[in-house]
Amino acid sequence: MDSALSDPHNGSAETGGAANGTTRPPSTPEGIALAYGSLLLMALLPIFFGALRSVRCARGKNASDMPETITSRDAARFPIIASCTLLGLYLFFKIFSQEYINLLLSMYFFVLGILALSHTISPFMNKFFPANFPNRQYQLLFTQGSGENKEEIVNYEFDTKDLVCLALSSIVGVWYLLRKHWIANNLFGLAFSLNGVELLHLNNVSTGCILLGGLFIYDVFWVFGTNVMVTVAKSFEAPIKLVFPQDLLEKGLEADNFAMLGLGDVVIPGIFIALLLRFDISLKKNTHTYFYTSFAAYIFGLGLTIFIMHIFKHAQPALLYLVPACIGFPVLVALAKGEVTEMFSYESSAEILPHTPRLTHFPTVSGSPASLADSMQQKLAGPRRRRPQNPSAM
């Protein structure tokens, strides 16, 4: 997981170097402000809309489309798994050819990106289909074994509207695969972030504190203690980060002096903010106090990260600033309102998600194109159905 906000002035966020030994001219103050402001906006969009969609997802009645619930045990193990993954990628880039590794990763994220983007745009696209649109249902089913030992490998249900969304998303996928353009990268990155916030649910606030606290240490260590995270972020040609060029005003869409924000800095605080929105709804007071407080805290924390990075001209572990803000602000509000006990006793999985499965293994594949994109973070709850393993991109 990449969780660093990087400063292009020292090269940590550059995806394109100066050609023929020439020195890249410094970015203008206007270009820097535009890049940082755009990164902030791109981070806020999937958190806000992903949190709203997480409520609808939690209330869904289809068991196959239920979100994954992260428990305290999962949260405690996550920083260790993330560290091993990050170190493994670093060693791979040191030992093997970066070109071949990125080719494999590009194909992998090409498929996942299309599915994630299709799921993201599906609710919006459905509004444009006329009432008399010929929408047909399809199913692609693969099984193994026979009789009582028969098991489903892939159960892929979709309709004509899904095919249209997949076709549109495939255009972006081909664009990304051929050009690696920063706009295509951001479209996939935003889709991954929104899906993560929507489909990964913390079961309670204590679990959120464990997860954010563990990743706080993870982020600080791998950014300040080593060059591993920044090296992987520079070498990893995949939509695991949001980028925006600081030289856009000078070079237009072909700009190549990028500032970047790792998707981990969006999804991890985002799922905590989404949990607080569901907590607000559970209070039945018709207010979203904790959601707006944590959302404002995220803006403050990321803004502080950008400020510190700009002052010191060095990549910053964004969670160093985001975690205290996103946890501290809502807790202070709860203290002021006398609702600390209610906050920490709230169980998302018990109140809104009575049948949500635990996150006990890597996600699997099944369902419609929308639920196939969802399957990056979920599994089917049925006792007799199994699906193939499909590692999460984040």
**Segment 89-105, tens digit of pLDDT:** 899 888 888 888 888 88
Distance (Å, whole) CA 46 – CA 41 = 9
146-188 pLDDT tens trace: 877 888 777 777 788 889 999 999 999 999 998 889 999 999 9
Residue 358 in domain: no
Q: Report if residue 367 sits inside a domain.
A: no
Show which residues are catalytic: 219, 265
What's the average model confidence in pLDDT over 336-364?
65
Whole-number percent of the chain with pLDDT over 70: 80
> Is 369 a member of any domain?
no
CA atoms of 375 and 357, how far apart (whole Å): 13
Structural domain for 132, as ranges = 29-142+151-350
Q: What is the mean pLDDT of residues 189-213?
A: 94
Q: Lowest-pLDDT range, 14-23, 189-198, 230-239?
A: 14-23
257 within 8 A of 27, measured Cβ to Cβ: yes
Number of domains in the chain: 1
- The distance in angstroms from the start CA to the end CA of the chain is 6
Residue 235 lies in a domain: yes
Residue 41 within a domain: yes
pLDDT tens readout for residues 248-307: 988 888 888 888 898 999 999 999 999 999 999 999 888 899 999 999 999 999 999 999
Q: Is residue 203 part of a domain?
A: yes
Residues 6+ away with beta carbon under 8 Å from 247 = 25, 27, 31, 255, 256, 257
Q: Is 71 helix (H, G, I), strand (E, B) or coil?
A: coil
Q: What does the pLDDT look like over 32-69, one tens digit per residue?
A: 999 999 999 999 999 999 999 999 887 765 544 568 88
Q: Helices in the chain by DSSP H: which ranges?
A: 29-58, 72-95, 98-125, 160-179, 182-199, 205-220, 228-235, 248-251, 264-283, 289-312, 319-337, 340-345, 348-351, 369-374
The answer to the question of residue 11 being in a domain is no
Over 70: is that where the pLDDT of 116 sits?
yes
The one-letter amino acid code at 50 reads G
3-state SS, residue 21: helix
Residue 313 falls in which region: left (phi positive, over 0), alpha (psi -120 to 50) or beta? left
Report the alpha-carbon distance of residue 317 to residue 222 in Å, rounded.
8
Per residue in 188-197, pLDDT tens? 999 999 999 9
The yes-or-no verdict on residue 386 having pLDDT over 70 is no
Number of Cβ within a 10 Å radius of residue 145: 10
State yes or no: pLDDT of 230 exceeds 50.
yes
Residue 40: what pLDDT?
Answer: 95
Q: Which residues of 60-88 are buried (b: 16+ CB within 10 A; e: fewer)?
A: eeeebbbbbbbbbebbeebbeebbeebee
- Mind giving me the DSSP string for 159-181? EHHHHHHHHHHHHHHHHHHHH--
298 belongs to a structural domain: yes
Predicted local confidence at residue 354, as pLDDT: 41
